[in-house]
Amino acid sequence: MEFNSKKLERTSKLVYYAIAIILCAFLILLSNQIIGDLDTATAQPEVEDFMNKQAVARLQSRENQLAAEVGTLRDKNTAVERIMETAQQNYANEKQSFDNWVKARKTLGSPNEDQEVLDRAKRLDEFYKVEQAWRAQLSARQVAIEAKERQQEQLELEKERENSLAYDKYETELKSYQLRVFLIRLLFVGPILGLGIFFFVRYRRHKFWPLFLGFTLFSLYAFFFGLVPYLPSYGGYVRSAVGIALSVGLGYYAIKTIRAYLERKRLELQESSQVRAQNVQLEVAEKALENHYCPSCGKDFILKKWEFPLPAEASIANRLVTDFCRHCGLELFSDCRNCGSKNFSHMPFCATCGTRPSAAAQPQSGSPVAI
């Protein structure tokens, strides 16, 4: 396999990116373990920690006592209801017997003067009084049950107030806990993010760039997944402030970098075409030839047929190039001194005879060449 082959270049890039991703993955695993241990440095608050345990226990005890008393009263009422059913049945039976007896006595004499009629009526009245007595007990117990249920409702309100006070204290402490967790993570993630940005800015073209890229990817993961989810809200102020700071910082860096690049290109284009030709790198030249743009100014060097006057017999050529860039004057194509073939001036060898550029003839101005 040749060293400069496209296949080797693609394979090398895949290997380099694989190294970066593998390193990033193991760094993420290590950081997750470290961050998990760091989170144990401060205990997360619970609502129960802020409850007035004595007051809650007292209210709960009183509520349990009322519940037991209500249960006892309901059990007694159930028993009374069964007794009342028996008393009602006895009264109904006695009344039915009395009515039958009275009807029988009407055929024999005056029931108003019969002592037995009075005795039976008295006994029937006693059955009715017994039923009324049980009914009164049932009503009294029902009133007591309702009173205790009102007390239970009052206890529930007191418990809700205690819970509300505890929850307010918990919310305050939770915000403090989230801020502590964020600061602990920031102490760990902040230097990692700064180092990752430094590596990307300074060493992205280093010969060991896959290692630096892997660390940079890890720093981005640590920031977006290890720190950003733990940003305290505080009504959105902290998140908004962090977002503004990142936007300003990254925007400033991007604007400064772009303006510096444009200034370098402006100064570069002021130099002679010979100096600029010496500074063209092979990788840039390969991409420029493949995508047909000038390696110095980046403008497209392909001429369309309507952009350059041609004789009628040459109108079939739709894609034309000139020996020099029409935008910055850089030499693009030149004739080989050995074989006379036209070549891209910034490639290392002649495509026809393999002669090095140093052996090539001086570039000449000529008519456009179709490619």
Q: Is residue 3 part of a domain?
A: no
Same-domain status, 53 and 153: yes
pLDDT, residue 349, reads 83
Instruction: Say if CB 37 and CB 230 are below 8 A apart.
Output: no
Query: Do both 25 and 120 map to the same domain?
Result: yes
Q: Distances from the Cα of 126 to the Cαs of 88, 105, 300, 325, in angstroms? A: 12, 22, 120, 128
Mean pLDDT computed over every residue of the chain: 76
Residue 97, CB half-sphere, CA atoms under 13 Å: how many? 14
DSSP SS3 for 40 = coil
Query: Which residue's structure tokens are 């000139």?
Result: 322
* Domain boundaries, position 150: 14-232
Q: Looking at the structure, do residues 228 and 307 belong to the same domain, yes or no?
A: no
Q: Which residues contact 45 (CB under 8 A, 6 or more apart)?
A: 170, 173, 174, 177
- Model confidence pLDDT, tens digit, residues 194-207: 898 888 888 888 88
Residue 190 falls inside a structural domain: yes
Shared-domain flag, residues 222 and 338: no
128 with 224, same domain: the answer is: yes
Same domain flag for 126 and 142: yes
Strands (E), 155-268: none
Specify whether 149 is located in the same domain as 215.
Answer: yes
Q: Do 120 and 191 have their domain in common?
A: yes
181, 216, 232 — which closes off a domain? 232
Q: Model confidence over 312-333: pLDDT tens digits?
A: 444 444 456 777 887 788 888 8
The verdict on residue 143 lying in a domain is yes
pTM of the predicted structure, to 2 decimals: 0.51
Number of domains the chain contains: 3
| Pair 75, 138: CB distance under 8 Å | no
User: Does 21 reside within a domain?
Assistant: yes
**Residues 303, 294: contact at Cβ < 8 Å?**
no
Whether residue 138 lies inside any domain: the answer is yes
DSSP string, 305-316: TTTS---GGGTT
Residue 129 and residue 37 in one domain = yes
Average pLDDT over residues 7-33: 86
**Residue 1 maps to a domain:** no
Token reading at 299: 């403008």
Residues 89 and 188 occupy one common structural domain:
yes
- Average pLDDT of 20-25? 91
49 and 76 share one domain: yes
Whether 8 maps to a domain, the answer reads no
Q: How far is CA 267 from CA 56, 270, 294, in A?
A: 79, 5, 16
239 and 185 together in one domain: no
Residue at 9 is within a domain: no
Cα separation, 20 vs 51, whole angstroms: 51
Q: Please give the residue that has the higher pLDDT: either 180 or 105.
A: 180
Residue 351 reports pLDDT greater than 90? no
